[in-house]
Amino acid sequence: MNVKTTTPEKVLVMGIGNSLLTDDGVGVHVSNALAALAQQGAIDQPVHIIDGGTIGLSLLSEINPQSPLIAIDAMQLHAAPGTVRVFVGEDMDSQLRGTKRTAHEVALADLMQAAQLSGFGPERRALVAIQPDNTTWGLSPTPAVQAAIPIAVQSVLTLMEGWRDAR
């Protein structure tokens, strides 16, 4: 699901995960909730929301060094299920360099490194990470992770507002 605008300052929001693996798909669920808000006109700034799925280097073409990037993903945070943490800039880079548990955590780190090496790395970037509880087969998040979706949505909106106000 894409919501695109033409201004180069649009924020790229990338939901990552496999929605067939219970909590692993939370990034996709958050990006879908944000896309619904954008379609209702509830997001008052340019945004491009994509379902990054289980991610790949093909998403490199979506990254623009002038456009802020927010990635949303289930990630091992060593916290209670449903915990939401936001990593901005260098903190995001450090988090991605840490121990990787899933294929798309590795792929997101590789994608960001490829963007930096090719000169496309966004200066303003953030990772909204949600601690999963269960990543076995299932179409819906567990209750703790489902309850975290509105918190993650608000975290993305807060990041976008802060970057807009800092311009």
How many structural domains is the chain composed of? 1
How many angstroms separate the Cα of 82 from the Cα of each of 3, 4, 78, 99, 153? Answer: 27, 29, 11, 19, 13
pLDDT digits (tens, 9 = 90+) for 99-108: 666 655 568 8
Residue 1 lies in a domain: no
CATH number for 138 = 3.40.50.1450
One-letter identity of residue 96? L
One-letter identity of residue 80? A
Domain coverage including residue 114: 11-166
How many angstroms separate the Cα of 65 from the Cα of each of 48, 78, 79, 116? Answer: 14, 31, 32, 9
Residue 3 lies in a domain: no
pLDDT digits (tens, 9 = 90+) for 58-93: 788 888 888 999 999 999 999 999 999 999 999 999
Is 0.85 surpassed by the pTM of this model?
yes
Residue 4 lies in a domain: no
